[in-house]
Structure 1
Amino acid sequence: MANDLNQVMLIGRLTQDPQLRQISSGNSVCNFSIANNRSFTTNGTKRDEVSYFNCVAWGRLGEIINQYCQKGKQIAVTGRLRQDSYTDKDGRKVYKIEVVVENMQLLGRSGEEGRESGGWSQSGAEGQGGWPPADNGPVYGQMSPEPAMGIPSQFKPASSLTSGSGSNPYQDNQMMPDEDDIPF
């Protein structure tokens, strides 16, 4: 058995509003595309390159993308590439590649609602898929649109540094270096 890897991470803007539909099994599927801009310099000239990626999200994640995203919204997605093929009307086999989205993170501010960024995971486990929680707003985990209140404990400052107003956290420390020992 091979240890192959198929993982994609993209940040870009939606090129159109997402399209949500129900398939015969009752599952939801959401199709959308992301434009990804890249700037580079060639022979002293700054150039821009835009790549477009077709994406698909299944189930609750697809419903959330359809509900919270619209054309122009910047998002980050992780997932995998899937190749599909079909025969066109002229009998030629056509191949297409799309990103199967497993995690999504809203970036920037939402226009009219004024909500800040948040993220959803297809697997329902916050923080999986390579995207850390956003530090500029509430994080939405478990594919639930209810915000998780507060800051995760690993990101909170030590309580001794936040208690008191303007107190010196080193006031009881007997191990302060002598002024002659400071190298600058």
Structure 2
Amino acid sequence: MNKVILVGRLCRDPEVKNTTTGKAVASFTLAVDRRFKNKDGQKEADFVPIVVWGKQAEFAGQYLSKGSQIGVSGRLQVRSYEAQDGQKRYVTEVVADEITFLSTKKDKGQNTQQYDPANDLDEDFHLMADDDDIPF
């Protein structure tokens, strides 16, 4: 079983691109606080790369920005490639199946209720990846 569930804040705005077939893909880094403090009493965090496909990627680009708090569930993926120097490099990332928006661009600087992007749409949507959203 390969299941990851994280809650954290975006370290930067999502970077949204389209594949050659027109499929949207977004990537960003999620800062996830550790439950314990280090020996100096400081909180530490892990910085986890996240990849999101399809409609979720579009919504992430539209509604999320640096500092937004989200919940992510998905799977851990390790891939490799050959760098320009000929060395084999490994990348570990979370491929999101579902994103929960806990705060958004609209929430910044405001102490308001959580913003639900579904309220801005004419039809219901689910922020879960379909098998068609994943290109492999």
The answer to whether the superposition gives a TM-score over 0.5 is yes
> Which of 43, 46, 50 is the matching residue for 2:45?
50
- Kept in 2: contact 1:19–1:66 (CA 8 A): yes
By percentage of residues, which structure has more strand? 2
Separation (CA, whole Å) in 1 of partners of 2:36 and 2:23: 41
Task: Please tell me whether the aligned partners of residues 84 and 97 of structure 1 are also in contact (alpha carbons under 8 angstroms).
Answer: yes
Letter paired with 1:36: V
Per-residue deviation at 1:117?
4.1
The alignment-based identity, stated in percent, is 32
Bigger relative contact order (CA 8 A; separation at least 6): 2
Match of 1:12 in 2: 8
Give the aligned CA root-mean-square deviation in angstroms.
2.7
1:116 equivalent among 90, 114, 121: 114
1:13-40 per-residue CA deviation (whole Å, 9 max, x = no partner) reads 1000001111011111011110111242
Q: Note if contact 2:63-2:117 (Cα within 8 Å) is conserved in structure 1.
A: no
Q: TM-score, normalised by structure 2?
A: 0.77
SS of the aligned residue for 1:46 comes to: coil
Query: Runs in 1 of length 4+ with deviation above 3 angstroms?
Result: 112-115, 117-120
Gaps of 5+ in 1: 121-137, 145-184
Structure 2 residue aligned with 1:77: 72
CA contact (8 A) 2:36 2:43 kept: yes
Matched, 1:22 2:18: yes
Partner of 1:142 in structure 2? Answer: 125
- Write the distance in 2 (CA, Å) between the matches of 1:67 and 1:143: 16
Q: Which runs of 5+ in 2 are unaligned?
A: 128-136
Q: Is the 8 A contact 1:18 1:31 kept in 2?
A: yes
Q: Which residue of 2 aligns with 1:34?
A: 30
Give distance in 2, aligned partners of 1:41 and 1:70: 27
Query: Which whole-Å CA distance do the structure 2 matches of 1:16 and 1:108 have between them?
Result: 14
Hey, what does 1:172 align to over in structure 2?
A: none
